[in-house]
Amino acid sequence: METSNIEKEEKSSEFTSKKEFQSVIGSIWFSTTFFTLWSTLVCVFFIVPSVNFLQKLNVPDSSLLLSVLSLVLGLLLVFRTNTAYDRFWEGRKLFSQLHTLIRNLSRMIWINVNSELSDEEFEKMCVLNLLYSFSTSIKHNLRSEFELNWPDIAPYISHLPEFTYSNQKKKKVHKNLPLEISFHIAAFIKQIRQTERIDTVLQSSMISMLNSMVEVFTSLERIKNSPIPASYSTHLKHALILYFFSLPFQAVGILRWLTIPLTMKGKFGFTNLRKSLCLGIEAIGHQVENPFGYVENSDLNIDSFCDEIKAELIILSQRGSGIQNPQNWEVPKEIVSKNFDSEVWIGISEVVETVRTSTSQISMSKIGSEEALEDKLLEVEAKTLEPEAKTI
């Protein structure tokens, strides 16, 4: 099992190193080279006197065709880019929501579930492991990595009977491992309620959070399993091919040999003779539409998200029962009330203290008189507010 984990770590490191070098240029270099050669051939057959049969054919150099194609490409590329980025951003929001749910559920379990025995404390530690493995199993599920022996999954679910090292020799593949883990978390919540370690209100809150975690997982699956319809991508590719085939014919009569470098730049998306979008934007949309891979520049850094969850759970698990008891708190060095306006705060304090002192000095004969007490309070209030009026 240790050897297998080492292999998985090497595999993960290999993908991590790959994503540093992947870019849009690597995915469109073939198309760019092909259309650059095409532009070169058009220039040769139009300009070189011995083979300039294209010039003899009187190929029209009107920009009408390019204008029409530019409009179509603009609409298609805007749709492609917006749809891809919406999927990317929705994935980011869902992972942030998952992070919040794990934070809240882990805090509720660690603080509110009574654990007087060592076995009960051990159960809480195991549940924290399950919460972390829930996030990492989602990560691998979205990448279609359904094996169990990943180094960020296997050690954290090995305490479950069906995932022990001996049973893993059967090499069963769990394509829905996050859902399987949620079953065990739900069983833990049911067990601590039956043993009256929590009340029904807390149980309901925990179940609600667990349901939300499963809902987030389902939404992430929807993004992964529902790509942009192929008809849009196919039509966009056809429009791009038609555009780049016709571009040299429309530009060679005016630009001559400059047609070659300008059309090459246009395909990379840095500049374009007709201010149109090109292959680079289309390739970016293709990468961003599935944001759960290993490409650094266009995919979500879900490895970092899971590492943050792990670090927070480790810090939480290191908190002993003493920290959980407010009776162990010490006197704070700073009081929140000092952040308020000091003049107003001191003025109110002086009013209260003056009223207490003054009322104690009133003779017993006058205490029964409500009018004397009311006059004294008004006099004290007037003296207190007089400095504030002068300041204003």
Q: Verify that 14 and 131 share a domain, yes or no.
A: yes
Q: Is 274 found in the same domain as 160?
A: yes
Residue 159 is classified by DSSP as T
Domain boundary residue, one of 296, 321, 346: 321
Q: Which H/E stretch holds residue 80? A: helix 64-112
Both 293 and 378 in a single domain?
no
Instruction: Kindly state whether residues 381 and 258 are assigned to the same domain.
Output: no
On whether residue 327 sits in a domain, the answer given is no
98 and 134 belong to one structural domain: yes
Condensed to tens digits (0 to 9), the pLDDT of residues 113-137 reads: 887 777 888 899 999 999 999 999 9
* pLDDT of the residue at 149: 84
Residue 21 has pLDDT above 60, yes or no: no
One domain, residues 272 and 179: yes
pTM: 0.68
Residue 296 domain flag: yes
Mark whether 268 and 361 lie in a shared domain. no
Assigned domain for 332 exists: no
The predicted structure's pLDDT at residue 214: 97
Asked if residue 333 belongs to a domain, the reply is: no
* Residue with the larger pLDDT of the pair 151 and 230: 151
CA–CA dist 45, 50 (Å, integer) = 9
Residue 48 within any structural domain of the chain = yes
Question: Is the domain of 367 the same as that of 275?
Answer: no
Is residue 14 situated within a structural domain?
Answer: yes
| 183-197, 235-249, 260-274: the lowest-pLDDT one | 260-274
Q: 360, 358, 361: which is closest to 383 by C-alpha?
A: 358
Residues 376, 359: contact at Cβ < 8 Å? yes
Let me know whether 347 and 315 are in one domain: no
Say yes or no to pLDDT of 380 above 90. Answer: no
Residues 366 and 314 in one domain: no
Q: What is d(CA 362, CA 379) in angstroms, rounded to the nearest whole number?
A: 14
The answer to whether residue 55 scores a pLDDT higher than 70 is: no
Domain that holds residue 381: 338-391
Q: Is residue 329 part of a domain?
A: no
The pLDDT tens digits of the residues spanning 144-162 come to: 888 888 899 989 998 888 7
User: Is 326 part of a structural domain of the chain?
Assistant: no
Q: Which three-class secondary structure state does DSSP give residue 295?
A: coil
Q: How confident is the model at residue 285 (pLDDT cuts 50, 70, 90)?
A: confident
Q: Are 140 and 227 within one domain?
A: yes
Number of domains composing the chain: 2
Same domain, 184 and 277: yes
